[in-house]
Amino acid sequence: MNESKSRVSLTRRNLVAGSLGISALTLGAAGAGAAPATARADHWDLETDVVVIGTGALGLPAAIIAKEAGASVIMVEAEEHAGGHAMVSGGTIPLGGGTSAQKKYGIVDSPDLLFRDLTDWSVVEPNGFPDFRYNDREIVRAFADNAAKTYEWLAAHGVAFMDIAPGSFDGVSSGNSAPRSNYAAGLDWPVAYTGKPLEARYQKVIATGAGVVCPLLAAAEKAGVKILLQHRMSSIIRESPDAGRVLGILANNNGKTVRIRARKAVIIGTGGSTGNINFRRMFDPRLTEEYCALGGMPWSNQDASGELAAMAIGASLWGLYNQTGEFGSVLAKPQFIGCQYGYLPFSMQMISWMPGSPVFAKARATGLRVADWQDLILVNMQGSRFYDETQGGFTSNNFGSVKPYVQGSYLNAKNIEYDPSNFLNAALAGFSDGHNGGGPIWAIFDANAVARESWDPKPPSVDFKAGFCFSANTLAELAGAIKMPHQRIPMPAGKLEDSVKRYNSFVESGVDSDFGKAKPLYKIEKAPFYAAWATPNVHDTRAGLRINAKCEVLDMSGAVIPGLYCGGESAGGFSQHGLARATCQGYIAGNNCVATKDA
């Protein structure tokens, strides 16, 4: 079998159907019912040195490193496929501090420069919010000291980075002083969105999450890591409710409880909390149930399970401002409309969920990619326009964002062109009905817009059945047709008609006197008319469990919970988006956990 076919076959088998080392579908459990999380299990169904919860960008490096160091490792994964949030990411990994890639392209960087960048209190975004001010310096110091090492480790374990200068495109709060982002080439690994590899011409020039996850899964298999799919961690077992070491976990496998002992460590890599409505509302009360489009879903759900299980045995949360702060892609404007899951990473914006995807039955629609926001207007659930549709969301600090830039100087803030308004806050604005959320946002367009955009507004492009797209021959009929659980009040037909009429007048005059949209171009006037879901997406998690430089989890008194580690989106204290902190903290946790004394 040639290398290409072997790679694709391996990936499909590992991601969708089975597991590495132990069958996820046939492993049963000896016991019935879950033991309390704070009590010793009476017996164990499985024993290992290290248990890793989650098979994403944190879990895979941690598991491989621990196994290569001589520890036995079992990974548990709630889903029926591996990869977690990382699999559906854009494959951008901002690891700097002096990597071989930076040196190749003459980029000067160091751990100290990286540390100072990511703790610079003076850097703010156009809306005044700071990217790095509330980062935990101990955590960022560890990241800075290990970032370049993590890059080299990933490359040595099969991640093929695109041969372009780091930082060629960015957007992840990676620091102002040096370009640091690296891009994992998709090669011929199957992409979660489509179920198949990229076209050959794109395989070395487009980054994908599969380019990160799939080589690491292959490395895990080679190392002998055991992965149990469809094993949802239900609790972490500690010697006593608020003292003692962590002993193992309980996992649910198709209704059966599996007790897994961890002689050395349990590592939490469950991917954050965006999918848990009540948990995320601790950071932002506005994020009620209508914000149901999540980065990573429906491939994986960031359900706060790791955070909640750790909190049940005394763990503390940390760095909460980094979740509340309005910078980066914690919230995102959708790129695709008419479907529930309208967000895709930057490198993947030409691809959406397709019928070939293993999870397309959950995604239900590909969505309509918006090429030109002049082709529609956005209205809230009352049928009113609220913003210039062409505007974007929050921004983040990256190389060259502040010019001139002096680390730690209050003058940096004077070099930002302030823009206190943004699409996201306008879209999340509430109404006087006692509800915290702003309600659905609908893209309103007509048959002419369909032609200009070359859209095909019928299934599977749009999701009529679940209520994420509607069509009618008149605007009044369209308003009356919008019925779905998140549209908590009927849309007034007259209000929608008035909004469209007023906007059409702006097209005639060439001036949007309400919101300043630059020269409105197209009237909305030709039937059929459409209302497509365009509500902001909840993207990633930047607050979570309190950890130290070793990625050990700390309790409410700041003491280490022995044998418990965490990183990535389930850990707090670090504002940077995504894959770099996850892979680096996996590197740190994997190296440190093997030194833990056996329970």
CATH at residue 520: 3.90.700.10
310 contacts 565 by C-beta, under 8 angstroms = no
428 contacts 378 by C-beta, under 8 angstroms = no
DSSP per residue over 79-145, as a string?
SSSS-HHHHTS--EEE--SS-HHHHHTT----HHHHHHHHT-TT-B-TTS-BSSTT--HHHHHHHHH
Classify 246 as helix, strand or coil: strand
Q: Does 233 lie in the same domain as 313?
A: yes
Lowest mean pLDDT across 37-41, 477-481, 576-580? 37-41
pLDDT at 597: 79
Q: What distance lies between CA 409 and its chain's CA centroid?
A: 32
Q: What does pTM read for this prediction?
A: 0.94
Cα three-residue angle 581-584-586, rounded to 5 degrees: 105
pLDDT at 149: 98
Distance CA(196)–CA(458), nearest Å, equals 24
pLDDT at 108 > cutoff 60: yes
Please state the rounded mean pLDDT for residues 18-35: 38
Question: Given pLDDT bands bounded at 50, 70 and 90, which one contains residue 296?
Answer: confident
pLDDT at 535: 97
Strand spans (E) along 98-201: 181-183
Q: Does 167 lie in the same domain as 59?
A: no
Distance CA(409)–CA(569), nearest Å, equals 30
Virtual CA dihedral for 343, 352, 183, 160, nearest 10 degrees?
140
Would you say residue 406 lies in a domain? no
pLDDT at 85 > cutoff 80: yes
Four-residue CA torsion sign, 379, 380, 384, 388: negative
Please state the rounded mean pLDDT for residues 116-142: 96
Residue with tokens 């979660």: 192
pLDDT at 59 > cutoff 50: yes
Q: Look at the chain and report how many structural domains it folds into.
A: 3
Mean pLDDT of the chain: 91
Q: Does 189 lie in the same domain as 102?
A: yes
Q: Does 298 lie in the same domain as 198?
A: no
Would you say residue 294 lies in a domain? yes
Backbone φ and ψ of 116, nearest 5° = -65, -40
pLDDT at 408 > cutoff 50: yes
DSSP per residue over 569-594, as a string?
GGB-S----THHHHHHHHHHHHHHHT
Q: Does 128 lie in the same domain as 78?
A: no
| Cα 498 to Cα 144, 382, 495, distances in angstroms | 55, 11, 5
End residue of a domain, out of 507, 537, 567? 537
Q: Does 510 lie in the same domain as 545?
A: no
Q: Does 543 lie in the same domain as 531?
A: no
Could you tell me which residue, 245 or 40, shows the higher pLDDT? Answer: 245
266 contacts 49 by C-beta, under 8 angstroms = no
Q: Does 532 lie in the same domain as 544?
A: no
The token pair that represents 239 in the structure block: 């010697």
Distance CA(1)–CA(157), nearest Å, equals 21
* Domain range for 427: 333-395+419-537
CATH number of the domain enclosing 584:
3.50.50.60
The token pair that represents 310 in the structure block: 């750790």
Q: Does 260 lie in the same domain as 314?
A: yes
Give me the helices (H) in 158-282, please: 210-223, 277-280
Would you say residue 400 lies in a domain? no
Q: Does 553 lie in the same domain as 527?
A: no
Please state the rounded mean pLDDT for residues 229-243: 95
Q: Does 232 lie in the same domain as 192?
A: no
Q: Does 452 lie in the same domain as 309?
A: no
How many residues belong to the chain? 599
pLDDT at 15 > cutoff 70: no
Virtual CA dihedral for 205, 210, 215, 218, nearest 10 degrees?
-150
